[in-house]
Amino acid sequence: MTGHLLPLHLGADSLWSRHGFSDGSPFEFEDRGQDHDDDPPHADWTLLRETMSGEQRAELLELLVRRHLVPAIASATGATPEIVRIGTHHNPVRDARLDIHGRNGAPEGWDTIDVEVSRDQVLEAARMIGDGAKTTDEGKTTCA
């Protein structure tokens, strides 16, 4: 299933919200009404949801944030977020400095930082997670 998958957008302000990254489910897209062939734009995301556990999807989100969003934040602001992954029904990937209730909000200027992750980049990372890869604090991936 290939579909015409829309790119995944990761916004820096999501690191500062318990409801960030689509409430922790960035791989759950609705059909946005584009003209397409047999596969909807979210076909590969559906496949990810069906073949990866919730823990694997959280690992995938963390890997994508560390690989794509953290460098963009560092480049734009000179600051590096302190990424943590927590067990929750909401956003599992946050900045460690976020108040537990999500009341302190993103630092000024972070709301304009957004990266686009291509379908191929997402699927490559998903394959790595499926093969037992683990993300290090530096955003590097190692095989278990």
Every domain of the chain and the residues it spans: 8-143
**113-135 confidence digits (pLDDT tens):** 999 998 889 889 988 888 765 55
**57-99 confidence digits (pLDDT tens):** 899 999 999 999 999 999 999 989 999 998 888 889 999 887 6
Task: Give the predicted TM-score (pTM) of the model.
Answer: 0.76
Could you tell me the two tokens for 37?
A: 């062939």
CA distances from 41 to 7, 24, 117, 119 (A): 9, 20, 15, 10
